[in-house]
């Protein structure tokens, strides 16, 4: 079922020295799009291997999904022979990507200088917590830590009565992973034009600050500031799914046309004449009051009645869906989003590849591999003779 050789990245070889979620999510995208991703793990394996549930205690659901389509090479990088094996593999690789702190990867002798010496055209991507030129460079970082440091937790608190909360999805890991993926692909494109490789740095902290500041920089874009760094609509206490007579519904009445249609459907109530509803500017300046008025009227009808009204008025709206609901969502079923596969672990249902290419579609690969499953194949392709591989296994540089 492997997707290697299919997709726009077919023929690209990636050495993947990442773990947990940020880096593996980036390299999952590469694998989905056809790249040959070689996941390099230490003797203990990626820690996400052991996060349940799953029938295999060394391959939980998260690991199986985010490492799909990859091959596993298990090396003890504390041994010189293992490090030399990575440099030998790098000669025929297009990308080397890691998620270790700068000092740690340098101690292994696998920094950019070492990989560039082995292959001047290699794209070398550093994915780690904080940029290496700043005072936080040696701090450990996980998703929760970066959410707290980046302003995301503080923004969430504005929607939680001032109580700091994390996002319910690992947003820092995934945003940084996506950023790493597009950065590597951009560098590959640049190499096609120049013939030269380069080093990339993707720090989670800076990436998530950039992500949060996209809309929230707001008045602080100007110097001196015209206002605080916060986008009022996004943090209004009234910005939430509206309660209806029998449930909740998500609604986004946004532009002038939609507001006019909304008021027509309601019979143009007296409050619709309030000047604060007149334009995008006036609504933005009074956003909490605007949303509070809508909140009052939403409780007067059922969810079904509101959905009929909103569809008739062409106003974006939806009932609240859970992930459980989405497993059987008719749109996702019809578009073939969910991908079922028969594997040695039984039937697996993967979330699909969200992008479509008319000429070079990607493919969902095999589930995340067992530790070291591809040792012999990967090393053999790099020119290692059987006796060399056997000697490295005997020394512990390569896991048996």
Active-site residue set: 173
Q: Could you tell me if 319 and 303 are in contact, meaning their C-beta atoms sit under 8 angstroms apart?
A: yes
Spatial distance between the Cα atoms of 245 and 311, rounded to a whole number of angstroms: 18
Sign of the CA dihedral 90, 93, 94, 98? negative
Residue 296: its H or E element: helix 287-298
Q: Output the furthest CA–CA distance in the chain (Å, rounded).
A: 86
Q: How far is CA 242 from CA 35, 166, 249, 284, in A?
A: 44, 22, 5, 19
Count the neighbouring beta carbons within 10 Å of the beta carbon of residue 87: 16
Spatial distance between the Cα atoms of 242 and 313, rounded to a whole number of angstroms: 18
Going by the DSSP 8-state scheme, the letter that residue 48 receives in this structure is: G
Q: Could you tell me if 3 and 34 are in contact, meaning their C-beta atoms sit under 8 angstroms apart?
A: yes
Spatial distance between the Cα atoms of 395 and 389, rounded to a whole number of angstroms: 10
Q: Could you tell me if 203 and 130 are in contact, meaning their C-beta atoms sit under 8 angstroms apart?
A: yes
- Which residues pair with residue 124 across a beta bridge? 96, 199
Sign of the CA dihedral 355, 356, 357, 360? positive
């Amino acid at each position: 079922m492997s997707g290697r050789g299919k997709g726009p990245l077919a023929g690209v070889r990636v050495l993947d020295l990442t773990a947990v979620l940020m880096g593996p999510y980036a390299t999952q995208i590469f694998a989905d799009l056809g790249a040959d991703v070689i996941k390099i793990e230490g003797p203990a394996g990626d820690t996400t291997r052991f996060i349940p549930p799953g029938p295999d205690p060394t391959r939980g659901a998260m690991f199986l999904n985010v490492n799909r389509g990859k091959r596993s090479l298990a090396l003890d990088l504390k041994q010189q022979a293992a490090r030399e094996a990575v440099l030998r593999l790098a000669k025929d690789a297009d990308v080397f990507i890691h998620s270790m702190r700068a000092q740690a990867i340098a101690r292994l002798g696998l920094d950019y200088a070492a990989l560039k010496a082995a292959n001047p055209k290699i794209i070398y991507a550093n994915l780690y917590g904080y940029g290496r030129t700043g005072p936080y460079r040696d701090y450990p970082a996980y998703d929760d830590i970066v959410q707290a440091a980046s302003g995301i937790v503080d923004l969430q608190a504005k929607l939680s009565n001032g109580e700091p909360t994390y996002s319910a999805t690992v947003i820092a890991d995934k945003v940084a992973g996506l950023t790493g993926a597009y950065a590597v692909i951009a560098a590959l494109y640049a190499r096609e034009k120049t013939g030269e490789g380069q080093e990339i740095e993707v720090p989670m902290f800076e990436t998530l600050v950039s992500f949060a500041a996209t809309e929230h920089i707001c008045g602080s874009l100007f110097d001196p500031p015209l206002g605080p760094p916060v986008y009022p609509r996004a943090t209004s206490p009234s910005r939430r799914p509206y309660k209806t007579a029998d449930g909740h519904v998500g609604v986004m009445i946004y532009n002038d046309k939609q507001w006019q249609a909304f008021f027509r459907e309601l019979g143009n109530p007296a409050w619709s004449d309030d000047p604060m509803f007149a334009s995008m500017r006036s609504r933005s300046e009074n956003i909490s009051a605007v949303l509070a008025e809508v909140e009052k009227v939403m409780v007067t009808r059922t969810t079904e009645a509101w959905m009929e009204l909103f569809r008739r008025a062409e106003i974006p709206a939806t009932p609240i869906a859970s992930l459980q609901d989405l497993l059987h969502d008719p749109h996702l079923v019809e578009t073939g989003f969910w991908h079922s596969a028969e594997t040695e672990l039984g039937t697996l249902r993967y979330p699909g590849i969200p992008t479509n290419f008319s000429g070079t579609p990607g493919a969902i690969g095999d589930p995340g591999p067992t530790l070291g499953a591809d040792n012999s194949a990967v090393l053999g392709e790099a020119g290692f003779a059987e006796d060399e591989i056997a000697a490295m296994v005997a020394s512990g540089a390569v896991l048996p």
